[in-house]
Amino acid sequence: MGIYARATGDYFLAMQNHTHSAYLAREAGDAQGEAISGFCATMERVNYGLVTIPESVRSMLIELREAGKRLYEALEGKTDDADAIRWAYLNAPVHLLTAHFWAGEKYDSAEDRRA
């Protein structure tokens, strides 16, 4: 539902759905699922901020970077997991780059990934 809500431009609903998904994943003991859903929820919070309260976007970028770090930690070492690989090398970087672009901030992926 979070992905559908995002596609329709309802970023607040997308944020709520991803937050709920993170809760369900945590309850199920799925750390990777929780990290992915938590990252998506934070991304949608940034999107919502962009269309409603642009002055707070920079502080939201800090939150997004922290959610990204937690996501990358949850994905670390999972070289045989297709979802982990897709999130580590495609989805997360694209979302982080997009958020920085909309906020007018320079994006340095080295800040988000550990060496």
For the chain, what percent of residues have pLDDT higher than 90? 41
**Mean pLDDT computed over 89-108:** 80
Whole-model pTM: value is 0.60
Q: Note the pLDDT of residue 115.
A: 38
Which among 86, 90, 89, 46 is positioned nearest to 66, based on CA atoms? 46
Sign of the dihedral through C-alpha 68, 88, 34, 97: positive
Which whole-number Å values give the CA distances from 17 to 37, 55, 107, 113, in the listed order? Answer: 9, 24, 27, 26
* Beta carbons of 46 and 60 less than 8 angstroms apart: yes
Residues with Cβ within 8 Å of residue 2, at least 6 apart in sequence:
13, 14, 15, 16, 17, 18, 21, 37, 40, 41, 44
Q: Note the pLDDT of residue 63.
A: 84
